[in-house]
Amino acid sequence: MFAAVFNLHAESLDVHQLGDASDVKLFGDAGRAAFVCSTADSSGPPGEESVLHSLGGRYWIVGRIRLDAGRELQARLAAEIGNPPEAIPDALLCLHAYARWGERFTEFLAGDFAFALWDDERQSLIAVRDQMGVRLLFHARKGNTWFVGDSLDWIAARASTGRDLDDYWIADFLTGGCSREFERTIYRDIQRLAPAHTLKLNQAGAAIRSYWRLNVVEPVYFRDPRTYTERFRELLSLAVADRLPAGRVGIALSGGLDSTALAASTLDVTADASRIVAECEHYEEAMHIREDYFASLAARRLGIDLRIRVVDELVYDPQWRARDIRSAEPSISILNAYNIRQIDGDRARAAPVWLEGEGPDNALTLERNSYLGWLFGRRSWGRLAGALLQYARVKGIAGWTQTLRRHAGPQPEAKRPDTPPPWLNRDFAERLKLAERLATLGEGGDTSHPWRPLAIASFTSPFWQNDLDDMNFREQLAPIVRRHPYLDLRVTDFMLSVPPVPWGWKKHLMREAMRDRLPAEVLGREKTPLACYPDVASMRKHGLPEPSRGSRFERYVDRQQLPTVQASETEIYFAMAAYSLDHWLTHN
């Protein structure tokens, strides 16, 4: 973990309250600032653990930092200020960038990072979180002292005033599994720094600002369709290369297109199948979606090692309440944290870094009507006609037949507005005006983009952020690091920039890019959603948890209204948040 502490009034900090003195470095007038860097519990491989670096004794940095396009950044710095030392760590690259460009340095950084930077001359502290929110960063103020770091527990132990809980965070968690606002945490007095934001602290006070926004102005148009696929493969290869460890690398391989394309790209970059180990989680009883079959096809085609893990009995831990495992905030993952720790511990022994396939489902949504409507509104008649012809061609007879069958059959009912679950404490829900909050905030996300509203909204939604936060929790359970090549800004920006019609239809861009790399059965496989909630099936088998009778829990939940084993899968699934909250309150 790492942390930074700063006193607004230039008062000396008490080092003994910050932890082990060997982990603490004091700065500034009268010791008003301090960095804390402990690698004792770091899960990262060399180069991504918490680090502390200095540049000339004037600038200091502490954090977890892995940069994309580091060589390009170093070359740019060399062209402007002369050659910095070769092969310097990413943390030092950040310091050189700050020394050259000042607070504009964030414009030149990309990757997975959360850090704090101290400028000794200006007596100021700048905390930065990466654009996509892969790494965590929290902050809080107690009196005149600010605390910043990646450990919520560490800050809560030192900065939380009475450790008062945030009822709005809890209400959102109970109704959706996470907060509907980026900045909130379980503690009322501790905030989460939003992705792509900086926090600056100096004698003038504190200032939070956004330094980057996910946006694409114009679509990318190429005359030759092959240019789209060539560019995609080139950018994905760059992203994979930036994320490769020195030795073996793991890939969480389903039988779907995203992870198999990632495996193919990794093989292209390494040119060594022995460096790649893949694992497929497979359900033998709960579902029959044949992930093992399709993953095996791809692995044999690529010549990489594949392990099949049967997970029917590993999706829920019936002994979870007795385990000595806790989370910084209530988390549904706590119900299976023990099995996650065992699985990821086994994976870590095979490879320290695992590549994940999140991103294309969000970035390559079809968004047909938004895009065609945008072209129509601009009177781009040539582009509109071309898009319609391309859409008809790529969809083909099979695609149009599926559409006709879907419209000829029974239509799904309109989704009802979200309402609080019946087991919420009524007084609690009414006091927070929870029904109004759900209707107003929904799933969040920025829907203002004229031709990519759904894609941009999905990446800017707190629910997307919660998925990344959950991966940070998983990294705390076992010595493993997850990296996300599709979230490389070069790749994400390109996927968002290609015309949704035709390239978003069933992720046509990826299917064409992998045409000569993956088996035809994998390329032709339809998107396969989970057929059930396998963890709910396991909970029914072992019996639902019995909530505690403490007043803290019953302030939020009417335990008498919680579902029974006879309730629907959906009802039980959403009640998992209540069980998780009960566990967290009991152990905090």
Say what the pLDDT of residue 416 is.
Answer: 39
Residues 50-108 have pLDDT tens digits of: 889 999 999 999 999 999 999 999 999 988 877 666 778 999 999 999 999 999 999 99
- Cα 326 to the chain's mean position, in Å? 20
Residues 315/281, Cβ–Cβ less than 8 Å: no
Strands 111-119 vs 59-67: parallel, antiparallel or unpaired: antiparallel
Residues 469/185, Cβ–Cβ less than 8 Å: no
In DSSP notation, 173-241 reads HHHHSS-SSTT--SBTTEEEPPTTEEEEEETTEEEEEE-------S----SSHHHHHHHHHHHHHHHHH
Residues 472/136, Cβ–Cβ less than 8 Å: yes
**In this model, does residue 417 exceed pLDDT 50?**
no
Question: What length does the chain have?
Answer: 588
Residues 526/563, Cβ–Cβ less than 8 Å: no
Beta-carbon contacts of 342 under 8 Å, excluding residues fewer than 6 positions away, are 314
Strands 2-7 vs 59-67: parallel, antiparallel or unpaired: unpaired
CB-hemisphere CA count at 13 Å for 415?
Answer: 5
Q: What CATH topology corresponds to 225-364+449-532?
A: Rossmann fold (3.40.50)
- Whole-number Cα distances in Å, 350 to 47, 305, 315: 19, 11, 21
Q: Which of 208-212, 220-224, 235-239, 414-418 has the lowest mean pLDDT?
A: 414-418
Read off the pLDDT band of 137 (50, 70, 90).
very high
Strands 124-129 vs 138-142: parallel, antiparallel or unpaired: unpaired
Q: What is the mean pLDDT of residues 300-318?
A: 95
Residues 244-290 have pLDDT tens digits of: 999 999 999 998 999 999 999 999 999 999 999 999 999 988 777 88
Q: What angle do CA 22, 26, 31 make, to 5 degrees?
A: 140
Which of the listed CATH numbers 3.90.1280.10, 1.10.10.10, 3.60.20.10, 3.40.980.10 matches domain 2-210? 3.60.20.10
Residue type, 233: R
Q: What is the mean pLDDT of residues 228-238?
A: 98
Sequence ranges of the chain with CATH classification 3.40.50.620? 225-364+449-532
Higher-pLDDT residue of 202 and 16 is 202
Higher-pLDDT residue of 339 and 12 is 339
- Cα 310 to the chain's mean position, in Å? 25
Say what the pLDDT of residue 262 is.
Answer: 97
- Whole-number Cα distances in Å, 196 to 133, 187, 332, 563, 575: 7, 22, 26, 40, 33
Grouping H, G, I as helix, E, B as strand and the rest as coil, residue 26 is strand
Sequence ranges of the chain with CATH classification 3.60.20.10? 2-210
Residues 125/33, Cβ–Cβ less than 8 Å: yes
Mean pLDDT of the chain: 91
Token pair recorded at residue 68: 């994309």
Say what the pLDDT of residue 526 is.
Answer: 84
The two counts, helices (H) then strands (E), for the chain are: 22, 17
Q: How far apart are CA 363 and CA 113, in angstroms?
A: 22
- Cα 397 to the chain's mean position, in Å? 38
**In this model, does residue 411 exceed pLDDT 50?**
no
Q: Distance between the two ends of the chain, CA-based, in angstroms?
A: 20
**In this model, does residue 31 exceed pLDDT 70?**
yes
Read off the pLDDT band of 401 (50, 70, 90).
low
Question: What percentage of the chain reaches a pLDDT higher than 90?
Answer: 78
